[in-house]
Amino acid sequence: MLDQLAELGRIVLRAVAGLGRAHLLMLGLLRGLRDLFPRPLLLVHQLYSVGVLSILIITVSGLFVGMVLGLQGHYVLSKFGATQTLGVMVAASLVRELGPVVTALLFAGRAGSALTAEIGLMKATEQLSGLEMMAVDPVKRVLTPRFLAGFIAMPLLASMFSAIGVVGGYFVGVGLLGVDSGAYWSQMQANIDLHEDVYNGVIKSLVFGFVCTWIALFQGYDCMPTSEGVSRATTRTVVHSALAVLGLDFILTALMFGK
Amino acid sequence: MSTEEPLVKIRGLRFSRSDRVIFDGVDIDIPRGKVTAIMGPSGTGKTTLLKLIGGQLVPDAGTIEVDGRNVHRLGNRDLYALRKRMGMLFQSGALLTDLSVFDNVAYPLREHTNLPKSMIRKLVLIKLESVGLRGAAGLMPSELSGGMARRVALARAIALDPMMIMYDEPFTGQDPISMGVLVKLIRELNDSSRLTSLLVSHDVHETASICDLIYVISEGRVVESGSPEEITGSKTAWVQQFMGGRPDGPVPFHYPGAELADELMGGHPC
Amino acid sequence: MFRMKTIEIMVGAFMAMGILALFFLALQVSNLSTTSNGEGYVISARFDNIGSLKVKAAVSMSGVRIGRVSEISFDDGSYEAVVRMTIDKKFSKIPDDTFAKIYTAGLLGEQYIGLEAGGSDTYMADGGAIGMTQSALVLEEIIGQVLFSKASEGAKNAEGAK
């Protein structure tokens, strides 16, 4: 009984210590931003690996999600004879929810895991130690550019996802199922609000970008410097990011739309 | 030169990792301009010692002074300034894998100086020349053999012309030729650029052939210290076993455990 | 160096694509293009019942949207709903005897205000009020009326049969 209690205590203590280290890292990352401005090339490189390399998976997924929304939405709406509001349904679900959330989940799988593995391997091969001994702060030089890149790339990727999804819904709804093209766009424009829907979606993806990149970098930076440690950290990145994104999405949605 | 204050002065160093005591009261002096070797079996925390000197780890007790300054009392800025004057060669080389050989060597110069491009180019080529790898400047680290990677890392470590350089197991896993090259390089660099070299190793013969001073550590303590001749001629049974590389002696061949006969006959369920 | 150049180009393209997508969402998907740029004048109207009319609902004339409902309040003196609407500046010639009515777009659609121009030569100014209004059709009332008339018809028929 006491042993179990001690075990519980140990788990809690370890979790709290981990959280503390994660927040210290975040402080370091934020402090490192200042030193990044004179070195924009570092950021460009990371935007390439975090953003450009994620375009394919994001756009293809966005297209298919939009097309599925078109099909399913049409099926449900046709029961009420309201198929001309298909555009609203597709755009609202994409811009408000699916765009930011699915993009963040894909980002965690595609870019987050890569970030963790990269940082973890750099740690395992003593590259981070080596930088420190060269009097170069690895948090500033290695982690911060990746952090900012993730933060910038996420809303852009989410916007692409939503935009392509809306077009995908148009293909299926208008092209395949015969919804009126004018109704698709005009109903959408009449009912999707720039502030309420589009801005809030962007804010969501900014938050997700911050959290996903932070988790990925922390897991890589904090992992055990062995191959097993790196593989575990990579798994943790995906799991923690997914949970954080879904949990935060609920909170953000409640704050933004739940009046 | 030997009358000078030692470059690195370690006093009463204690360090433990979770429950395991790694250093238990270690005193070491590393004189300027010499090659000093720290030897000991695997797992005695030799790499840990280098990290303690570099300020990457903090000891539980005791002091480490480098060039008269207590490493662990320095603020971040001073520590980084001190590190610029220390080079360290990691076991794996620790080259940045996404940069070419040239860029790796240029990295500390670009980070810490405002030298013009042409100047950096010349300096990098000179450093690469001194380790004999000027021709490999365009290669990526993944295209190098282990020995070459270590030499590139060495060129990078001396790029800022440090006052001391620390080698972490420089000979491990090298073929005889690259081992010979490294042995020669370490000695030559030390003498030509008035460096202080600190070498951590368990390769007895190579180390003994180039160093001026040897410290042997075991189980968290300095067991013996002196010139290579003194150490090789040591009367201590433990040092004899280590230097001679004999399989049995004070360090037993068998990991401590129950008697074999007991374990075979006793029928323990495991 | 060549590799660096391609990376820079790709990152530039990525940023451009992302921003383009954002613009697409703002202009094509949302109502940015249909919202007026805030310039216009305010007129008000009083209704007995506005049904489920909401702020931002359209104000249209002959089916063309000319403004939006900007505020809905309740006058507890006369027990009427006061609806303020912002009319785009370019539609400045609304006669002051215009008639306002609350319509429903489709059977289940949103409610909006339709204005029917009168014949006056003087036009509405900022802060002007519409005198003649007709309330929203509330579904329950319509159903109630239909049931009532059916019931009375049935009663008549029953009398006639006697």
pLDDT at A20: 92
d(CA B141, CA C42): 71
Decide: C and B in contact? Rule: 3+ Cβ pairs under 8 Å. no
Mean pLDDT of the C56-63 span: 83
Lowest mean pLDDT among A100-109, A172-181, B104-113, C3-12: C3-12
Mean pLDDT of the B112-117 span: 86
Report yes or no: A48 and A40 within 8 Å, Cβ to Cβ.
Answer: no
User: Which residues lie below 8 Å from residue C6, measured CB to CB, with a gap of 6+?
Assistant: none
- Which chains have at least 3 CB atom pairs separated by less than 8 Å from chain C? A
Contact A156 C21 (CB under 8 A): yes
User: Which residues lie below 8 Å from residue B24, measured CB to CB, with a gap of 6+?
Assistant: B14, B219, B220, B221
Contact C18 A156 (CB under 8 A): yes
Q: In what order do the strands lie in the sheet with B164-168?
A: B86-89, B164-168, B196-201, B35-39, B213-218, B221-226
B243 pLDDT exceeds 80? no
Percent of chain B scored above 70 by pLDDT? 95
pLDDT at C1: 47
pLDDT at A101: 95
Write down the residue that tokens 């939009």 correspond to. A66
Vertex A185: Cα angle to C92 and C103 (nearest 5):
50
Q: How far is A189 from chain C (nearest CA, A)?
A: 5
d(CA C114, CA C95): 14
pLDDT at B238: 76
d(CA C50, CA B44): 85
Q: Give the DSSP per-residue string, B113-141.
A: ----HHHHHHHHHHHHHHTT-GGGTTS-G
Residue B157 DSSP label = H
d(CA C112, CA C83): 11
Mean pLDDT of the A210-227 span: 93
Q: Say what the pTM is.
A: 0.78
Report yes or no: C115 and C29 within 8 Å, Cβ to Cβ.
Answer: no
ipTM: 0.78
For residue A190, list chain C residues with Cβ-Cβ distance below 8 A: 31, 34, 58
pLDDT tens-digit readout, C74-101: 988 888 889 988 888 888 888 888 888 8
Cα of first residue to Cα of last residue in chain A, in angstroms, is: 46
Assigned token pair, B18: 């979770």
Q: Taking the CA atoms of B113, B117, B119 and B125 in sequence, report the sign of the dihedral they define.
A: positive
Assigned token pair, A23: 């927040």
Report yes or no: B68 and B77 within 8 Å, Cβ to Cβ.
Answer: no
pLDDT at B2: 45
For an interface test with C, the pick among A45, A86, A156 (most C C-beta atoms closer than 10 Å) comes out as A156
Report yes or no: B214 and B183 within 8 Å, Cβ to Cβ.
Answer: no
Assigned token pair, A173: 């709804």
Contact A126 B97 (CB under 8 A): no
pLDDT tens-digit readout, A172-204: 999 998 888 888 888 888 788 887 888 899 999
pLDDT at B178: 79
Contact A163 C24 (CB under 8 A): yes
What residues are paired with B198 via a beta bridge? Answer: B36, B166
Report yes or no: A93 and A168 within 8 Å, Cβ to Cβ.
Answer: no
Q: Could you tell me how far CA B126 lies from the centroid of its own chain?
A: 24
Nearest residue on chain C to A149, alpha-carbon basis = C11
Whether chain B has a CB inside 8 Å of the CB on A194: the answer is: no
What residues are paired with C65 via a beta bridge? Answer: C60
Whether chain B has a CB inside 8 Å of the CB on A125: the answer is: yes
> What are the two backbone dihedrals, phi and then psi, of residue A50, each rounded to the nearest 5 degrees?
-85, -40
| B49-to-A138, A165, B57, B58, C48 alpha-carbon distances in Å | 21, 57, 9, 10, 87
> What are the two backbone dihedrals, phi and then psi, of residue A97, each rounded to the nearest 5 degrees?
-115, -65
Nearest residue on chain C to A89, alpha-carbon basis = C29
